[in-house]
Chains A and B, each alone.
Chain A
Amino acid sequence: MKLIKHLFLVFAVAAFFCSCKDANKDTTTTTSETQTEAGSTERTGQAFIKDDGSTTVLSIAIGSKDHTTLVAAVQAAQLENALVNAGPLMVFAPTNEAFAALPEGTVENLLKPENKNALANILKYHVTPGNYSKDFLKKFKKLGQANNDYVKVEVVDGEPIIGGAKILASVKAGNGIVHVIDKVLLPPTE
């Protein structure tokens, strides 16, 4: 489990670097000098202060065939302004199987540029401003999510069920917690 935690942090850092560099490339068309400056200010997010990640690890993360679709999804959603780095944030992270269980074509459809907002809305529905352990979640009847909707919390057989999804594992992060869940959460308006 410790190993998982380490990997988790390393990858989080890596993904962060990667994503911001990409964003810079998209938004700045100026000289290399200003790009360096922008890069240095963007590296100061609270969740990533203790960074010492290297581009080598970054390349591995981004190069991973298992994650390219998800990275593309977030980039397609252009979620830059939705959340920054302060937290605390609690992320419900559906497994690959959960994504695969969605009706055929759903993910592909959401990735289309015209569905950017819908995709962002779904991704934000997986984020709660807060930091609660699996056990503590049983005290809630609902959670207010980052997209401004509520997700229902039930207790079945002594386990918290979040919007119908079961928590498979939980990983603590510096600025919050990730609960791995077995279903994709769909906002009530979708």
Chain B
Amino acid sequence: MKKILTSTLAIVMVFAVFTSCNNSSNTSGKSGALSSNVAEKVYVAPGEHDSHYAFISGGYSGNLTVYGLPSGRMFKEIPVFSQFPTSGYGYSEETKPMLNTSHGFIPWGDSHHPDISQTAGEIDGRFIFINENNTPRIAKIDLKTFETTEIIEVPNSAGNHSSSFVTENTEYVVAGTRFSVPIPQRDMPIKDYKGNFQGALSFISVAPETGNMDIKFQVLMPGFNYDLAHPGRGTSHGWFFFSTYNTEEASTLMEVNASQNDKDFIAAVNWKKIEEYVNNGGGKMMPANYAHNVYDEHTHTATSTMKKEVRVVNPSEVPGAVYLLPTPKSPHGCDVDPSGKYIVGNGKLSANLTIHSFTKMLDAIKNEKFAGDAYGIPILNFEDVLAGVVEQAGLGPLHTEFDGKGNGYTTFFISSEVVKWKLGTWEVIDRQPTFYSVGHLTIPGGNSGKPQGKYMFAMNKITKDRYLPTGPEMEHSAQLYDISGEKMELLLDFPTHGEPHYAAAMEASLIKERSQKIYDLEDNKHPYAAFSDGDTKVVRKGNEVHIYMTTIRSHFSPDNIEGVKLGDKVYFHVTNLEQDFDVPHGFAVLGQNTSELLIMPGQTKTSIWEPTKIGIWPFYCTDFCSALHQEMQGYIRVSAANASTPLKWSMGEDIE
């Protein structure tokens, strides 16, 4: 035993030495964010604006957060897939339909990969899309209002992970399935996975003017796991690339069984070819059931429509539509450089990066040099499509972004670092540690033909000692680097909210001038809106009581209501009459079994209250709106079910 102990110590020492010194080669003594010039680089003086927006996925919060760069300040949390009591999203009658699915109302989601709309390969800042991983959905957020305006459920998909990336002109937002499943869903033994399960890659068209989403077609692929994806651009525009793992088609103990093949694939999908096939009547409509939820800015109300069919395409029936590029060791990230010439595949358990050449891929296809096929889909030879390998760059490569100056930046989860390398020569230029265990990284404009350089930030999975401790649960950490020089320079460390899988960022000037300030009251088409004190009323329809209510600094109208009875369902339809930037009013009533409402100027929102007790119950404004905010209140009287209290309301006078 003694011998074992000594040798263990020795090896442990080796291990420790071996694992701890990574930083030494790149620490020139200036990497700490201590020196004053680094502080100046992230200092945004009071009242001044950041130069960039960053939209950081909220992961298991289901939402999307908005940050400023370089300050790392969080400006907003945009509710997307989760109920959000702060604003009443998913609680108010108007927004509940946004969270409707074929599985019913779902109050939570797992948001992953935001991507900003593009025109001609450049970020245009109109919309941002984000995927829900658990119950497959794609959401669209309008960057004029920073509100979620559309959510479409993705049928035949499960674990909507290789999503939601947009093509060069936002022709499509693409959603690939992580889990393959029986299509159509059916009751069958799990062990019969192989050959029977399929993976759906969904191409959701985005209408050029309105941005309305519609599933144009789904490519039903072999039963692999489709992990991440990126669009071709420039020369490769018209193609889409998906990394795959579990080409073994295993269904249990995946960490062992899905790592048997030395190489999995990157699937190259020629979507233009499939689009043409579909436009000529190709593919077939199959029965489906999925929700399409749209928020109308004028009625301030969402509607949910169930769609009953979807077009599916069998790729083996469309010659030239899909090819498989062998890629080592269960690739995770699948990234395309700004020119569209290179496709990077990062084997999760590899030390190397594999870069495929789009040109070589086309040549191999043209010469029909195939290594075989998988379910009728041609497999190309690894050597024929390989552009280069970044050798031994680190351990556990995940994701790559580009600076538009010929460099790639790849995150390494296991060795916890970002490595900068050169396209074409595949040499490592610089490496910087992250704190700790980095997942994605973002360069503003990163997923486009024109990255906006200057900054890169790494989003980590583990925080540990980076901030003041907050008990066992910590927010994840992110680090901001200046990438304008040859070497990356660590500038700032800031916390993120939920799990920041991915983020999209852009220069602030693209959208800040068109950010909406108020909703025009004259455009308010809400059926229960009241536009003045004179419009306010209370209407009974059976046991439903509809209160048409207004708010303006500093009162509700009406502010006294009588005649409500136990068993009634009371609808507070609250219209904020303010037309002044950043003057919302809130609404809450004692015993409300839902959230408050936060109503923006010119907007109408509705909350249902089903009183359970007789008495006089107050309601008040929850947002400190004015000097007399504390006076902004009212009472509602609840009588017994058989009482004869007449329905009356008032403001400024007593109810007689």
Contacts and interface: CB of A to CB of B under 8 A. Distances in A.
A180 interface: yes
A13 to B, nearest CB: 7
B238 to A, nearest CB: 34
B24 to A, nearest CB: 3
Nearest to A25: B24
A20 B259 contact: no
B188 interface: no
Contacts of A12: 12-13, 15-16
B578 interface: no
Interface in B612-639: none
Interface string B388-414: 000010111000000000000000011
Contact of A7 (B5, B255, B464): B5
Residue among B4, B14, B392 having the largest count of chain A Cβ atoms under 10 Å: B14
B593 to A, nearest CB: 44
B15 A178 contact: yes
Interface string A123-138: 1100101100000000
A169 B12 CA distance: 13
Contacts of B253: 139
A111 B329 CA distance: 31
B34 interface: yes
Contact of A91 (B11, B21, B431, B464): B11
B77 interface: no
A15 B16 contact: yes
A83 B396 CA distance: 10
A96 B23 contact: no
Contacts of A34: 29-30
A26 B176 CA distance: 49
Interface string B13-36: 111111111111101111110100
Interface stretch (A64-72, A101-109, A158-166): A64-72
Contact of B464 (A42, A46, A141, A150): A46
A83 B18 contact: yes
A155 interface: no
A190 to B, nearest CB: 16
A71 B32 CA distance: 28
A95 B350 contact: no
Nearest to B351: A148
Contacts of A180: 4, 7-8, 11
Contacts of B394: 81
B263 to A, nearest CB: 12
Given A11-B12, A85-B436, A93-B15, A42 B23 contact: yes
Contacts of A124: 351
B10 interface: yes
A89 B3 contact: no
A187 interface: no
Nearest to B465: A49
Given A7-B9, A83-B414, A23 B21 contact: yes
Interface in A134-154: 139-141, 144, 146-148, 150
Interface string B90-127: 00000000000000000000000000000000000000
B644 interface: no
B7 A95 contact: yes
Nearest to B416: A86
Contact of A169 (B4, B417, B433): B4
A56 interface: no
A146 B395 contact: yes
B501 to A, nearest CB: 18
B6 interface: yes
Contact of A79 (B18, B32, B352): B18
B420 to A, nearest CB: 13
Contacts of A20: 20-21, 23-24
Contacts of A130: 255
Interface string B230-262: 000000000000000000000001011001101
A96 B9 contact: no
Contacts of B352: 148
A17 to B, nearest CB: 8
Contacts of A146: 351, 395
B309 to A, nearest CB: 43
Given A7-B5, A86-B416, A180-B4, A80 B11 contact: no
Contacts of B179: none
Contacts of A87: 414
A80 B253 CA distance: 34
A61 interface: yes
B440 to A, nearest CB: 15
A91 to B, nearest CB: 5
A42 B465 contact: no
A24 to B, nearest CB: 6
B250 to A, nearest CB: 12
Nearest to A147: B351
Contact of A84 (B4, B23, B29, B30): B23
Contacts of A85: 19-20, 22, 416, 436
Given A23-B24, A24-B24, A97-B7, 10 more contacts: A7-B9, A46-B435, A70-B10, A80-B22, A86-B413, A91-B11, A93-B14, A140-B256, A147-B351, A180-B7
15 contacts: A4-B8, A16-B20, A27-B25, A38-B31, A40-B32, A42-B27, A44-B433, A45-B19, A47-B20, A81-B394, A85-B436, A86-B416, A86-B437, A97-B7, A180-B4
